[in-house]
């Protein structure tokens, strides 16, 4: 995937991304506090920080956070959301060229973003900006695809209508690929449950926040929304449907 495709493909989806993408449960911070000693003294580079969802999590822990994001509209959304919070620093940069000073951070985090990176180049950059004994943490909210009839139907809808869903799905990065990234260092995986509930407007917004969902004007857009409406009507209880996630966490050192 070329650099433009990976850094600009969310530009027209920022409002839906801010409103409808899942956050990260507080249990994630418990993992980081216990496993890597995350504290209010930690300096975090949140790389591929997007609209600030993950940066907010680290700010909640009292950390100083450098939110590194190449996409201008997404970075602006994070600045609007978090700009008045102590410790928030907005940075125009990429995973491969963060612009941060060498040996300046305790933790490099990538939340819902690592699968977009050039792994060889970003690994070198992470090593450059990390302090000795610093950690790399990777997070994804992995949506269940087959645990309820709704989620089975939603997965089928994506396969029917999405543009390049299979190609860009973060689950293409499996545990073995992550372990190779950390090698010769070691990494550990942890899972924290997460969920969202939606009315129809929320479900629609969640779908349209995805870069692979056909946008308005695409001939697949209206048929996709018609199928989504049918799916919602079939499975809603008291006007709500539920998405379940596993928040997958990897943490460790690169050397």
List pLDDT tens digits, range 84-112: 999 999 999 999 999 999 999 999 999 99
Question: For position 9, what pLDDT does the model report?
Answer: 47
Q: Looking at residue 210, what is its pLDDT?
A: 87
DSSP character at residue 231:
H
Cα–Cα distance, 144 to 228 (Å, whole number): 17
Measure CA 61 to chain center.
18
Domains of the chain by start residue, with CATH: 3-145+168-196+244-252 (3.40.50.150)
Low-confidence ranges of the chain (pLDDT < 70): 1-13, 166-172
Sort strands 105-111 and 88-91 into parallel, antiparallel or unpaired.
Answer: unpaired
pTM, two decimals, is 0.88
- Find the farthest-apart pair of alpha carbons in the chain and give their distance in angstroms, rounded: 54
Per-residue pLDDT, 147 = 97
- Distance CA(111)–CA(205), nearest Å, equals 20
pLDDT of the residue at 3: 39
Give pLDDT, residue 173: 73
The pLDDT assigned to 50 comes to: 93
Q: Tell me, what's the pLDDT at 175? A: 87
Q: How far is CA 147 from CA 9, 96, 153, 198, 205, in A?
A: 29, 36, 10, 17, 22
Q: Rounded to an integer, what distance in angstroms lies between the CA atom of residue 115 and that of residue 248? A: 13
**Helix ranges restricted to H, the chain:** 3-8, 14-20, 27-36, 53-60, 72-82, 119-129, 149-161, 165-168, 175-182, 200-208, 221-235
pLDDT computed for residue 172 by the predictor: 56
What's residue 166's pLDDT?
Answer: 66
Instruction: Please tell me the distance from the alpha carbon of residue 142 to that of residue 126, in angstroms, as a whole number.
Output: 24
From CA 239, how far away is CA 237, in angstroms rounded? 5
């Amino acid at each position: 995937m070329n650099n433009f495709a990976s850094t600009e493909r969310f530009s027209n989806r920022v409002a839906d991304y801010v409103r409808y993408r899942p956050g990260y449960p507080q249990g994630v911070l418990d993992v980081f506090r216990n496993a890597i000693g995350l504290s209010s003294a930690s300096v975090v580079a949140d790389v591929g920080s997007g609209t600030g969802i993950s940066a907010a999590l680290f700010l909640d822990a009292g950390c100083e956070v450098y939110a590194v994001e190449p996409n201008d509209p997404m970075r602006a959304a994070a600045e609007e959301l978090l700009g008045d919070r102590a410790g928030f620093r907005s940075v125009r940069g990429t995973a491969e060229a963060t612009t941060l000073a060498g040996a300046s951070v305790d933790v490099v985090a990538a939340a819902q973003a690592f699968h977009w990176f050039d792994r060889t180049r970003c690994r070198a950059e992470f090593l450059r900006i990390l302090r000795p004994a610093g950690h790399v943490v990777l997070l994804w909210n992995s949506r269940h695809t087959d645990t309820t009839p709704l989620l089975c139907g939603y997965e089928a809808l994506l396969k029917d209508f999405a543009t390049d869903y299979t190609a860009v799905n973060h689950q293409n990065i499996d545990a073995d690929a992550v372990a190779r990234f950390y090698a010769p260092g070691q990494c550990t995986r942890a899972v924290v449950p997460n969920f969202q509930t939606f009315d129809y407007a929320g479900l629609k917004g969640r779908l349209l926040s995805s870069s692979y969902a056909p946008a308005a004007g695409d001939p697949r857009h209206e048929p996709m929304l018609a199928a989504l409406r049918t799916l919602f009507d079939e499975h809603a209880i008291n006007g709500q449907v539920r998405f379940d996630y596993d928040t997958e966490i990897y943490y460790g050192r690169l050397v």
